[in-house]
Amino acid sequence: MRYWLIAIALVALPAWAQVSAEQPWTRATPPGAKVGGGFMKLRSSGAADRVVGASSPVAGRVEMHVTMREGDVMKMREVTAFEVPAGGTFELKPGGAHLMLMDLKRPLKKGEKVPLTLKLEKGGELKMELTVEEMGARQPAHPRN
């Protein structure tokens, strides 16, 4: 019986959600700022998964947002999840889907690392550090393809 359980686990293993984050980063914030952004590329090497929450010790809360055009106006809207497709990617970037670090407890300074945890629907928690880039950055200082 034990061998059957091991065999079933080995067959099912590739189908489990396996999400990783590539180049997680954020921008430096001015003194007194209460919000910051979080960006990265999420990659699934297995089944599809969903990001259903996030947290960081530097923020009171972390929200998931998308940017949408309504007429001639760009607006941000909070969403309940980001979908990471099976064997695919989902990108969080300025002007698109992103994380909002709300109620910052202190300014974010260029060069530091900010802890962040994503909560995945199937894959548990994904812990990482956001590299703080300069204010107004549109991409990480050394982007990798």
Per the CB < 8 A criterion, the answer to whether 101 and 59 are in contact is yes
Specify the residue for token string 């950055």: 137
Q: Please indicate whether residue 68 or residue 12 has the higher confidence score (pLDDT).
A: 68
How far from the centroid of its chain's Cα atoms is residue 114's Cα? 13
Question: How confident is the model at residue 60, as a pLDDT?
Answer: 98
For the chain, domain boundaries: 16-133
Q: What share of the chain is helix, strand, coil (3-state, %, to 5)?
A: 10, 50, 40
Is residue 36 within 8 Å of 27, Cβ to Cβ? yes
Measured distance CA(12)–CA(46) in Å, rounded: 10
Structure pTM?
0.84
Tokens 């259903």 belong to which residue? 52
The third-level CATH classification (topology) of the domain covering 16-133 is Immunoglobulin-like (2.60.40)
Q: Which residues contact 108 (CB under 8 A, 6 or more apart)?
A: 26, 27, 28, 29, 36, 58, 114, 132
Residue 11's pLDDT is 46
Instruction: Give pLDDT tens digits for 75-122.
Output: 899 999 999 999 999 999 999 999 999 999 999 999 999 999 999 999
Among 19-23, 55-59, 140-144, the minimum mean pLDDT is found in 140-144
Q: Would you say how long the chain is, in residues?
A: 145
DSSP secondary structure code for residue 2 in this structure: H
